[in-house]
Amino acid sequence: MNCIIIDDDTAARLIIDQLCKNTELVVKEEFSSAIEAIKYLNSNSIDVAFLDIHMPTFSGFDFIKTLKTPLKVILTTSDKNFALEAFEFDCVVDYLVKPIGVERFNKSLDKLFGLSPAKLIVDENTNEIENKDFIFVSIDKRLVKIKIPEILLIEAKGDYISIRTAQKSYIVHSTLKKIEKKLPSDLFLKIHRSYIINTSEIIDIEDNSVLIEKYVIPISRSHKQEFIKRLNLL
Amino acid sequence: METPNLDYLRQISGGDIDFENSLLSILKLEFPIEYIVLSNNFKNSNFDKVALDIHKIKHKIGMLGMLNSVDLASECEKNIRKGNTEQYKDLVLILERINVYLKNK
């Protein structure tokens, strides 16, 4: 698993780097500025960031709000008072108060690996799963069953896809193209280059978007005709 | 009052002497500078900046194994934002002690 360290304090970065040694984490880069890290993430795929909250001009929370790629964040801070605010963000896995001890750091990694991105179990040679009502994703050596009819939508996110059900979301290292082959085509439809939806879950349609549960999904011009065909219009 | 020590550094170094030396070099270089900046901001009653300086330097206090002193620094940081400088003199005693310790390392 790849990680980056973002902290304006040199000693703090050195300590996290040291703590990462002899773990499954590979430190790819270190940044004293969160803005530099954002630029780096635009062209590099990273799984986790160790992130300081208090940094001049651009704070750790500013960084999280700017994130466009799926990334897990472990906050590292000298301040105990931001934990509640921190866990408002879905990407935050843990909140470490400096100075960070080895035991506490390892506990954090246990949490992190428990949340590591799932891998879609795909057999490239068969579409047999179309006849089944579930798919399996692998999360930390555990296969998790997702019932296909319960999938609301699937969103492409860089090298990952987010499979949303009413109960939870699964971040999976895969592509829309791969999962599309595994879904029943009478139920699921690609309506945008970044979205496949479960058509039975549509609540309403307005101009160029559909509403599914609380999600407003755009319909692209190129997919609109196929989408209209599929509607049971009066 | 707590005494600065290298217990924390040794705990996370796992015997990596290069790491211990690197971290100690950074502390010896950066701590005195951060202390001077903090003192100057305090002399100029620039309390918002003092609070930020304390926030930054308290991690280094923690690295030197002085966890009760980190708590005092946190309290001082919080109060100084409100203009209450009561704990500042206690913080200075801690910072002075660290300064001397690092000079002799």
Q: B69-75: long-range contacts (C-beta < 8 A, 24 or more apart)? A: B69/B1, B69/B2, B69/B94, B70/A78, B70/A99, B74/A78, B74/A79, B74/A80
What confidence tier does A128 reach under pLDDT thresholds 50, 70, 90?
A: very low
- Bridge partners, residue A137, by sequence: A120, A144
> Phi/psi at B30 (nearest 5 deg)?
-85, -35
Tens of pLDDT, residue by residue over A64-109, are: 999 887 899 999 998 887 877 887 788 999 999 999 999 999 989 9
Which residue among B12, B56, B74 places its CB closest to the CB of A102?
B12
- Of the listed ranges A137-141, A171-175, B17-21, the one predicted with least confidence: A137-141
Q: Tell me the mean pLDDT in the region A134-139.
A: 77
Which pair of tokens denotes residue A217? 């999904």
Task: Please answer yes or no on whether B13 and A10 come within 8 Å at the CB atom.
Answer: no
Which class does domain A118-230 fall in? mainly beta
B62: contact with A, CB 8 A cutoff: yes
Task: Please answer yes or no on whether A99 and B59 come within 8 Å at the CB atom.
Answer: yes
**CATH, range A2-114:** 3.40.50.2300
Which pair of tokens denotes residue B1? 């009052």
Is residue A117 predicted with pLDDT exceeding 80?
no
Peptide bond into A70 cis (omega under 30): no
CB B69 within 8 A of CB B97: no
Is residue A228 predicted with pLDDT exceeding 90?
no
Tens of pLDDT, residue by residue over A190-205, are: 999 999 999 999 999 9
Cα–Cα distance measured from residue B51 to residue B77, given in angstroms and rounded to the nearest whole number = 5
Is residue B86 predicted with pLDDT exceeding 50?
yes
Which pair of tokens denotes residue B20? 């211990």
Share of chain A above pLDDT 90, in %: 45
pLDDT value of position A85 = 80
Which pair of tokens denotes residue B62? 């923690």
The domains of chain A are located at: 2-114, 118-230
Residues 6+ positions from A204 with CB-CB distance below 8 Å? A210, A211
Taking the complete model, does pTM exceed 0.90, yes or no? Answer: no
Reduced 3-state DSSP string for A172-234 = EECCHHHHHHHCCCCCEEEEECCEEEEHHHEEEEECCEEEECCEEEECCHHHHHHHHHHCCCC
Q: What residue in B sits closest to A8 (Cα-Cα)?
A: B56
Residues 6+ positions from A106 with CB-CB distance below 8 Å? A23
The domains of chain B are located at: 7-103
Interface test with chain A among B9, B10, B12, by most A beta carbons within 10 Å: B12
- Bridge partners, residue A205, by sequence: A210
Between A172 and A124, the more confident residue is A172
Task: Please answer yes or no on whether A18 and B19 come within 8 Å at the CB atom.
Answer: yes
Q: What residue in A sits closest to B77 (Cα-Cα)?
A: A79
As to burial, measured by CB atoms within 10 angstroms (0-12 exposed, 13-18 middle, 19+ buried), residue B96 is exposed
ipTM over 0.90: yes
Which residue among A12, A19, A22 places its CB closest to the CB of B59?
A12
Q: Tell me the mean pLDDT in the region B17-46.
A: 96
Looking at every residue in chain A, the average pLDDT score rounds to 85
pLDDT value of position A132 = 61
